[in-house]
Structure 1
Amino acid sequence: MYPVQKILLKRLLGEHEKYMLVADDIRRSEAGDRGEDRLVAKLDELRLSGNLQVFSDVGLVLEDWKVQIDCLIVSDRCCMVIESKNMSGNLYFKEEEFYKEVDGTETPFPNPYFQLTRNIRFMKEFLRNVCPTMKVTGAVIITAKSSRIRQKPSHYPIFKLESMMEKIYQMHSNGLSEPVSLVKFVEITSHIEKNLSPYIMPPLCEYYRISPRDLVRGVECPKCGTFGMLRHYSTWKCRSCGKNDRNAHKVAIREFYLLISSQMTVKDFRHFCLVESPYTASRLLNNFESLEGHGNGRKRYFVWKQ
Structure 2
Amino acid sequence: MKIALHYQKGDTMIIRKRTKPLILQKYEALQARLPPNSPQYQAIKQQVELRTRGHQGELTVDHHFNILAPKFTIIQDACLTSNGQTFQIDNLIISPHSIYIIEVKNFRAPITFDTDLNQFTTDDGRKISGYKHPIAQVKAQQLKLQNWLYEHNQPNIPIYYFIAVSEPSTLINVIGDHEKISSIVQHGEHIPWKILDYEQKQKNHPTYQHQKIGHFILKHCRDFDKDILEEWGIVPEQLVPGVRCRKCNRVGMEKVKWSWICPRCGLADRQAANHSIDEYLMLVKPWLRNKEILNFLNISSRYAVSRLLKNHPNLHYSEKRRRWEKKVNGFNKRYTLRSD
Cα distance in 2 for residues equivalent to 1:116 and 1:22: 26
- C-alpha distance in 1, partners of 2:174/2:140? 23
- Cα distance, 1:288–1:136 mapped onto 2, change above 3 Å: same
TM-score, normalised to structure 2's length? 0.75
- Alpha-carbon distance between aligned partners in 1 of 2:260 and 2:57, rounded to the nearest angstrom: 41
SS of alignment partner, residue 89 of structure 1: coil
In the TM superposition, what is the alpha-carbon distance from 1:180 to its structure 2 partner?
A: 1.2
Residues in 1 aligned to 2:249 and 2:154: alpha-carbon distance in whole angstroms: 52
Please tell me whether the aligned partners of residues 11 and 217 of structure 1 are also in contact (alpha carbons under 8 angstroms): yes
Displacement after TM superposition at 1:274 (Å):
1.9
Q: Aligned-pair RMSD on alpha carbons?
A: 3.2
Is the deviation greater in 10-19 or in 69-78? Answer: 10-19
Distance across 2 between alignment mates of 1:223 and 1:43: 31
Amino acid at match of 1:23: K
> C-alpha distance in 1, partners of 2:254/2:69?
58
Unaligned 5+ residue runs, structure 1? none
CA distance in 1 between counterparts of 2:252 and 2:121 reads 45
Which residue pairs with 1:78 in the alignment?
98
Percent identical residues: 22
Q: Which amino acid aligns with 1:193?
A: L
TM normalised by structure 1 equals: 0.82
Q: What corresponds to 1:196 in structure 2?
A: 221
- Answer yes or no: is the 8 Å Cα contact 1:69–1:119 preserved in 2: yes
Q: Which moved more, 1:286-295 or 1:107-116?
A: 286-295
Partner SS for 2:307: helix
- The Cα shift of 1:122 comes to 2.0
CA distance in 2, matches of 1:244, 1:102: 42
Asked if 1:169 is matched to 2:196, the reply is: yes
- 1:11-65 alpha-carbon deviations (Å, 9 max, x no partner): 22133222222222222222222222222221223499xx522222222233523
Tell me, in whole angstroms, the C-alpha distance in 1 between the residues paired with 2:35 and 2:69: 52
**CA–CA separation in structure 1 for the residues paired with 2:241 and 2:172:** 46
Paired with 1:229 and 1:160, the residues of 2 have a C-alpha distance of 44
Larger RCO (CA within 8 A; separation ≥ 6): 2
Residue 76 and residue 207 in structure 1: after superposition, are their counterparts in 2 closer, same or farther (change >3 A)?
A: same
Question: 1:127: which partner in 2?
Answer: 149
Query: How far did residue 280 of structure 1 move?
Result: 3.8
Q: Which runs of 5+ in 2 are unaligned?
A: 1-18, 332-340
Secondary structure of the residue that 2:196 maps to in structure 1? helix
Code of the residue aligned with 1:180 in structure 2: it is: T
Q: Could you tell me which amino acid in structure 2 is paired with residue 10 of structure 1?
A: A
Going from structure 1 to structure 2, the CA distance change for 1:87 and 1:153 (only over 3 Å counts) comes to: farther
CA 1:78–1:248 in 2, change beyond 3 Å: closer, same or farther? closer
Task: Quote the Cα distance in structure 2 between the aligned partners of 1:80 and 1:224.
Answer: 40
- Range with greater deviation from structure 2 (237-246 or 33-42): 237-246
Matches within 5 A, 1:106-255: 106-128=128-150, 129-132=153-156, 134-151=157-174, 154=177, 157-175=184-202, 177-180=204-207, 184-199=209-224, 201-220=225-244, 227-229=251-253, 240=263, 247-255=271-279
Aligned to 2:81: 61
Q: Which has the larger radius of gyration?
A: 1
> 1:186: how far off?
3.7
Pair 1:296–1:74, CA change in 2 (3 A): closer
* Count of matched residue pairs: 298
Alpha-carbon shift at residue 177 of structure 1 (Å): 4.2
For 1:190, what is the secondary structure of its paired residue? helix
1:175 Cα deviation from its structure 2 partner: 4.5
